[in-house]
Amino acid sequence: MSKKKFLIISLGRKALEEHTKNMALCFSTNDFDLICSRYSETDYQIPNIVFTTKTYQSLVSFIINSIFILPIFLLRLLKIHRHYDIVYFPTVHPWNFAIIVLWRLLGKKTILTIHDAELHPGEENIVLQLSLKFSMRLTSHLLFLTNYVQKTAYKKLSLKTPFRIIPQGLLPLPDIELRNTRKGKNILFLGRISKYKGVDLLIKAVNEMPVDSYDSLTIAGMPIYDVTIPKDNPKIKLHAKYMSEKEMSNFLNQADIIVLPYIEASQSGVILLATLAEKPIICSRVGGLNEQLSNEECLFINPQKEEIKNAIRELLTNDLLYSSIQTALKKKKKDLTWDSKAKLLMNYIDDIRLKKI
């Protein structure tokens, strides 16, 4: 009798689904099957998708589809459950809780990936937060990307659930241009713009710097609040939009340094993009960010205006420091392959099956 597969259920629509895709592509198709959202923007390129399902695209569709589509989804799981012993959730979704309840009632194991133990300020969603809380309590096993998030979750919820730490791999982008020196003095902030990411602090800091000390500051990403750009400084520009992979590559190719002035954080996918592009990083020493980077791989700061200005000035004028960070990032890339992350997850699954944890 052949061993059972594990089932991946990933119901999101946007960026986090790339995490699912990159991990899944490293598994043998004999090991797993996938269920995903019909609305996903990710081209999975995976042959063994069992089925896709409608999820939701708005508050109204969330309510309607949670009443009518979710029960049908759970019935479809009942019909196929005998083929699988473990469900792995790579991403957070409000429906995860209902699926975990069903799978646990069937006497089976669940692995829930936690990207953030609690939602960031300005991104609160009571339904998602409650689903996340009760999912963490009910799942049989947990998986975290950083020790910081694991410790936060276990302290906040007094959890005893077995867990593993498996950091993310590099997020691939097309047409990345690698170069060994600065092209100019171009500063980039990349990613969705939330208040906890310190964008306003970065804008104020750069706007106070001498105009000849930098060429440009580009803020690239969709804001979830009103971002104020100085009208009298044409060197500071906001590109407020959701970006394609090609557009992200273009911004990274044009940049000389990346700044992450986060006020708080769990982990950052932008660190992985900057590492891929070998762009020196200025990074706040908050949350789990210092687990993603070492002192050799970035210039750490406290999220304060003067420290941001000093760090930008240092990185744009100290060619030796710039080159040493680039060299460290080149080495770092070798340890961030998705194949190595998939092997760690398979080891975790094997240990669960052998009842070692």
What does the DSSP assignment read for 154-184? HHHHT----EEE--------TTPPP-SS-SS
Please state the domain extents for the chain: 5-169+337-353, 186-333
> Lowest mean pLDDT: which of 10-14, 117-121, 140-144?
117-121
Is pLDDT at 121 greater than 90 in this prediction? no
Phi, psi of 21 (to 5 degrees): -60, -50
Do residues 282 and 298 make contact, with C-beta atoms less than 8 angstroms apart?
yes
Do residues 325 and 296 make contact, with C-beta atoms less than 8 angstroms apart?
yes
Q: Which residues of 6-17 are buried (b: 16+ CB within 10 A; e: fewer)?
A: bbbbbbbbebbb
226-271 pLDDT, tens digit each: 999 999 999 999 999 989 889 999 999 999 999 999 999 988 999 9
Query: Three-class SS of residue 85?
Result: strand
Mean pLDDT for the stretch of residues 39-68:
93
User: What separation in angstroms does the CA of 41 have from each of 52, 57, 234, 248?
Assistant: 13, 12, 34, 16
CATH fold match for the domains 5-169+337-353 and 186-333: yes
Give counts: helices (H), strands (E), the chain.
Answer: 12, 13
Distance CA 303, CA 189 (A): 14
Which tokens go with 277? 């592009």
pLDDT of residue 3: 75
Q: What angle do CA 297, 194, 183 make, to 5 degrees?
A: 40
Q: Does domain 186-333 have CATH number 3.30.930.10?
A: no
152-168 pLDDT, tens digit each: 999 999 999 999 999 99
Is pLDDT at 216 greater than 90 in this prediction? yes
- Dihedral sign from CA coordinates of 341, 343, 348, 352: positive
User: In the CATH scheme, what is the code of domain 5-169+337-353?
Assistant: 3.40.50.2000
Q: Kindly indicate the confidence band of residue 106, based on its pLDDT and cuts at 50, 70 and 90.
A: very high
Phi, psi of 184 (to 5 degrees): -165, -140
Q: Kindly indicate the confidence band of residue 1, based on its pLDDT and cuts at 50, 70 and 90.
A: very low
Q: Kindly indicate the confidence band of residue 2, based on its pLDDT and cuts at 50, 70 and 90.
A: low
